[in-house]
Amino acid sequence: MSAKAISEQTGKEFLFKYINTSAAVMNRFRYANVTPETDWNRLTQDHPWLLTERLVVKPDQLIKRRGKLGLVGINLDLQGVKEWLKGHFMKETTVGRAKGVLKNFLIEPFVPHTQDEEFYLCIYATREGDQVLFHHEGGVEVGDVDSKAQRLTVAVDDKLSDAQVKEQLLTHVPDDKKDVLASFIVGLFNLYEDLYFTYLEINPLVLTKDGVYVLDMAAKIDATADFICKAKWGDVEFPPPFGREAYPEEAYIADLDAKSGASLKLTLLNPQGRIWTMVAGGGASVVYSDTICDLGGVDELANYGEYSGAPSEQQTYDYAKTILSLMTREKHPQGKVLIIGGSIANFTNVAATFKGIVRAIKDYQGPLKEHEVSIFVRRGGPNYQEGLRVMGEVGKTTGIPIYVFGTETHMTAIVGMALGHRPIPNLPPVAAHTANFLLNANNSAVTPATTRTASFSEPKTTNDVTPPKRSKAGLPPEAQASSGCSRAKATTLFSKHTKAIVWGMQTRAVQGMLDFDYVCSRDQPSVAAIVYPFTGDHKQKFYWGHKEILLPVYKNMADAMKKHPEVDVMISFASLRSAYDSTLEAMQYPQVHTIAIIAEGIPEAQTRKLIKIADEKGVTIIGPATVGGIKPGCFKIGNTGGMLDNILASKLYRPGSVAYVSRSGGMSNELNNIISRTTDGVYEGVAIGGDRYPGTTFMDHVLRYQDTPGIKMIVVLGEIGGTDEYRICQGIREGRITKPVVCWCIGTCATMFASEVQFGHAGACAHQASETAVAKNQALREAGAYVPKSFDELGDVIKTVYDELVAKGTIIPAQEVPPPTVPMDYSWARELGLIRKPASFMTSICDERGQELIYAGMAITEVFKEEMGIGGVLGLLWFQRRLPRYACQFIEMCLMVTADHGPAVSGAHNTIVCARAGKDLISSLTSGLLTIGDRFGGALDAAAKQFSKAFDSGMLPMEFVNKMKKDGKLIMGIGHRVKSINNPDMRVQILKDFVKQHFPSNQLLDYALEVEKITTSKKPNLILNVDGFIGVAFVDLLRTCGGFTRDEADEFVEIGALNGIFVLGRSMGFIGHYLDQKRLKQGLYRHPWDDISYVLPEHMSM
């Protein structure tokens, strides 16, 4: 959500810090905050003026009209402030219908002044620009400022000047005050723009001979501009509306939301309530809340929230467990219900998100049964059948009553079931997967008109072959024809020949568009190219039906536009940070007449600038914060309409007679479902987006639909917030709109809540009575639109209007044409469990697929919690066991003693030579590692095998030595070039002491030491060297630690595990030598000639 209220203290802090004006702004930063934690002694030390000045005290909790409510203490000393607070601090107070506790107060210096020194000032954002309201009489009794105040509109991207302010706002202000006020107002407006305020009100603004005083202030900022304003804003706290507490769970979900590309929202309304919701989608979440309130559940509704944007299984689990934790803290005498609802998803994998919810239900099954919770589920979208199946299974296994429904059930029907207003039907089990699109699902060519789900009601020659007709909104067709306005927008946005460029590497969305094109029998793909700035130009492989095709990918947009002049649509998947710039760039090319902006969270000020430029250039913008739109049989934007099974189920592969426009992407897919079940289907549908200022409005599209012959009726799904629906009312009254309009505005529940609730969409909040859904529905009904009593009845009203049009002959049912079949992608078929294939690789040591890395079944967080160290990690990854602590320590000691043995050994020498030849780290390290073998460092495995074989066969140490001598073989692990029995290797001594002290048994080591006694008696340097010691000690470790069978221990020796110790340890030393040579800046190594013996070939020397 974008516009968020900030505290008065925060607003004044911004003003005092950043305002640039010649006016003298008084009492800068002179305010003190009082909370339950306040230490008065510390407060007076930090603000000594509290002890000497007269004061004002007031609550700072987003309360309007505090003066009229008697919530302001004026002209008090500090003791008077304390006395005043005794009657208000931590006391429950009623403001309107909201009840809340006063616990955050602001103390400021009292400013003596007269009534004629008080003024009113307000700046707020609208679609066309910013409104500046000024009234020369401010204060508590200011009254209806909308009707009394002077008003000035600053158009988007325009600047405000002192002269404008004086001329249009300060007409009733004395001349001697105009300069100061004009300078302050201009400075405040610039601050408002720079810091992305959306609302800023000062009442009263006091101007005395000393300067300007900002007494009371209310403000909202665009929270989505955090990435732009972070340096100036700092960490802003957004207080909850008065009457609603700030719960830590809300903050937790907000933090999850901030760290996620998905959307996660939670608002607690009544934690003691019995009705809880977990709804997918910003629009659907409002519809469910409306239905609960319509059915009398407003007082028991515990929460509002939504999850959308394809959250991961872990994110959904975290969200679900938060709600389950909250709803199982207090019992309710009637038990509780949890409504897990949603519209038909466009791209969210329903099964994946439901897995997270199922995990949470399993974790909380005890409390859920104890609190007598019943769960009602309704969902549709990709893989929804599997999601519903696992949800039904968890109900059976846990004993929790879980009722599961799919797209065959009206979206909000489960609310009536949950609240006991309608019976719970016994439905047959749903299909096990989403594979219908492999086959033609249509069994009959013609469907009876009354239950019709497929027809073409327009001549096939329209729109597909004619160029787009430009129309001027609000003008009748004949006026448009004569206006000759070259910058008017197109009536027809998409045809069977539309070509698009997709900004962003969204391969799944592009493939979905191509599959839709194919099933619509388009001649060519609708995607001409992809623009992706983060790679070079290349080709990307996609499927066109059964065959593979290549689409070009360009690094910059200029090349894409130049090489594809036929493109007139851009679909932008750019992030919220780059969407503004990429859209500006796209509008530089006259060939582009439609742009869809998918990103959510673009600052409103940037969106308004895009709208202004688009209007000037005749470009239609769909979005931001949208899934896009769809024109059945012609073109779809990105993920609109969901996967092919939904495309077929909703008959979106050919046009019907009904066009719709909604804000919500998820609800647009629900409308596809409703319209396909009640009429001959959709002709075109657009989701304009959930932001306060969408690129195009409801009326823009309704007028297009009015002027499109093939469209016979129009459906509008409006929403709380804004006034665009009133333009539809006006259009109906004036006769500009003559086709039947079925309209419903969601958000009717908002008027029933005691405190303000910001719904999932940024624009879904009423700032005045006319913006409420109830008011808009009434106005539409009075204007002549078909308005149902609730969303539950929307489908019935659509069907009634449609049947009337069929009866009149306006719509003539046509024969269904079956679409071509499209094969399913391998990855999706595997996801659905339809196919199986031998894996190319098998692994049993690590799994990175989930939310957390797993080492041999142990989560990485547990590895650190248990302080397992490098030895413990090696135990998991190499031996698939959690080894005893002494074993982990021994491994780490082995790595330490084998880390290096000087620069002269072959491996280090090779590494050094490579480094000095200018090679990189990996090449130099590899050069050193390649020298490891039986002669250097690779004796661990061989020593372990030789000693084990001799010991296991019962051979005495002397017999072993004699046999090796007789066979002409060296005993691996015996002998050292420098060390001897008289000059022992301290590395071996350290390891020997540790093994003797900690290993439960060391039989093989004892055997090897007996062999050493025999070999050193012949020659002092034939000692058990470090390789041999580690080899035999490791065999003792594997055989006696209790984690392995004898066969398993022998297998690890056989497959070369022990040499890995030397390789890993010595890699540390080789890297050290490489870094050392680079640090010393050593040049190319050339071996000195005097260290080489040059000899003739043997036959010549003879």
Q: Which residues are catalytic?
A: 761
CA angle, corner 777, sides to 774 and 779, nearest 5?
A: 110
SS3 542: strand
For the chain, the helix, strand and coil percentages under 3-state DSSP, each to the nearest 5: 40, 15, 40
Shortest CA distance to 682 belongs to which of 691, 692, 690, 673? 673
Contact 3, 187 (CB under 8 A): no
Q: Report H helices in 743-793.
A: 773-783
Contact 196, 228 (CB under 8 A): yes
**Residue whose tokens read 């303000």:** 756
State which amino acid sits at residue 79: Q
* Distances 295 to 358, 418, 753, 787, 794 between C-alpha atoms, Å: 28, 11, 15, 18, 16
Shortest CA distance to 619 belongs to which of 574, 576, 572, 668? 572
C-alpha span between 719 and 747 (Å, rounded):
6
C-alpha span between 939 and 130 (Å, rounded):
80
* Distances 701 to 498, 671, 684, 788 between C-alpha atoms, Å: 18, 16, 10, 21
Residue 336 host element (H or E): strand 336-340
In DSSP terms, 212 is beta-bridged to 25, 207
Q: Report H helices in 575-697.
A: 579-586, 604-617, 644-649, 665-678
C-alpha span between 825 and 511 (Å, rounded):
10
Q: State yes or no: cis peptide before 624, omega within 30 of 0.
A: yes
DSSP state of 342: B
SS3 116: helix
* Distances 948 to 446, 666, 772, 966, 1042 between C-alpha atoms, Å: 81, 68, 84, 19, 18
**DSSP string covering 497-523:** T--EEEES--HHHHHHHHHHHHHTT-S
In DSSP terms, 380 is beta-bridged to 344
DSSP state of 991: H
Structure tokens at 678: 């009640």
**Residue whose tokens read 């959904």:** 316
C-alpha span between 891 and 1017 (Å, rounded):
31
Structure tokens at 911: 């590494």
| φ, ψ for residue 16, nearest 5 deg | -65, -35
Q: State yes or no: cis peptide before 632, omega within 30 of 0.
A: no
C-alpha span between 378 and 341 (Å, rounded):
5
SS3 95: strand
Burial of 616 (0-12, 13-18, 19+ CB in 10 A): exposed
Burial of 129 (0-12, 13-18, 19+ CB in 10 A): middle
Cα of first residue to Cα of last residue in the chain, in angstroms, is 94
Say which residues have a Cβ less than 8 Å from residue 421's Cβ, sequence separation at least 6.
295
C-alpha span between 515 and 3 (Å, rounded):
39
Q: H/E/C letters for each residue in 668-684?
A: HHHHHHHHHHHCCCEEE
Would you say the C-alpha torsion 53, 57, 60, 63 has a positive or negative sign?
negative
